[in-house]
Amino acid sequence: MSIVVTAATGQLGQLVIDELLHRVPADQVVAAVRNADKAAALADRGVEIRIADYNDPATLATAFRAGDTVLLISSSEIGNRIAQHQAVVDAAKEAGVARIVYTGVLGGPEADFDLATDHKATEQAILDSGLTYTFLRNGWYSEMYTQQVAVQLEHGVVGATGDGRIGSATRRDFAAAAAAVLTGEGHEKQAYELNGDTSWTLAEYAAELSKQSGKEVAHNNVPAEVLLGILTGAGVPEPMARILVDVDAAIERGLLAGRGSDLSRLIGRPTTPIADSIAAALQQ
């Protein structure tokens, strides 16, 4: 029986593998990836590599074994995710895995924004499969903002969130929670709402970035249609841009502010404050 992490060479997947290797021997960890060459560094750490392409059910049929615990990290291919996730669920059921853990979105069935649609469908597919499950409903990653620090220092912080609060945490925080659930006991048939301990507004984010950088960073709250134009003008494909604008509307409605302390409880420490994430981004 192994712990299988899908999309293991992605940003979140690599962090989950790293967290797992601090908890269990490497021979208990499997990286399920599309390209084995990209997983060479994981193989060097003693992790077993299996090929698993969400778009190729034949690879999924050999990616899982009876008794495995599988972490299904959600696909980034908007528009294709429901079919991709269903293929993983079907293969996991056919293989007889012990449990499937899925990275969804904060709010689960109550989330009414566009980004949540595929996640809700996937959770339902897992429920319909009869597999033992754990749902990790991840909130917004702090890196969604801090990876744009260079642009923000030049052009300000732009959004359509109003005074909405964001209960973000780092990918490392979410990865640690996944590793805790994958290796711990008592998580069967549980759904965890995962968010940072302290929420913040974009205005507060801009103020903190100004403080730490020593440069005045403006916060510009703009109408949704203006934000859409800014994103598409910057090269974001329109379907993704529309989803991001819709997320900002969800933030304004308070849907990503946070829903409790599941994340800090699972990882056994406070979540990473946004000020620390800003500091790390400025040092890069």
Domain boundaries defined on the chain: 3-139+169-194
Amino acid at 18: D
Give the separation between CA 202 and CA 220, rounded to whole angstroms: 9
Closest of 136, 133, 127, 73 to residue 98, by C-alpha: 133
Per-residue tokens: 14: 């690599």
Residue 1 pLDDT = 84
Q: Which residues pair with 144 in a beta bridge?
A: none
Residue 206 pLDDT = 98
DSSP string, 185-238: SS-TTEEEEE--SS-B-HHHHHHHHHHHHSS---EEE--HHHHHHHHHHTT--H
Residue 78 pLDDT = 83
Residue 51 pLDDT = 97
Residue 79 pLDDT = 83
Residue 40 pLDDT = 97
pTM for the complete prediction?
A: 0.96
Residue 8 pLDDT = 97
Residue 50 pLDDT = 98
Give the separation between CA 223 and CA 20, rounded to whole angstroms: 43
The pLDDT tens digits for 67-113 are 999 999 999 888 899 999 999 999 999 999 999 999 999 999 999 99
- In the predicted model, residues of the chain with pLDDT beneath 70 are none
CATH fold label, 3-139+169-194:
Rossmann fold (3.40.50)
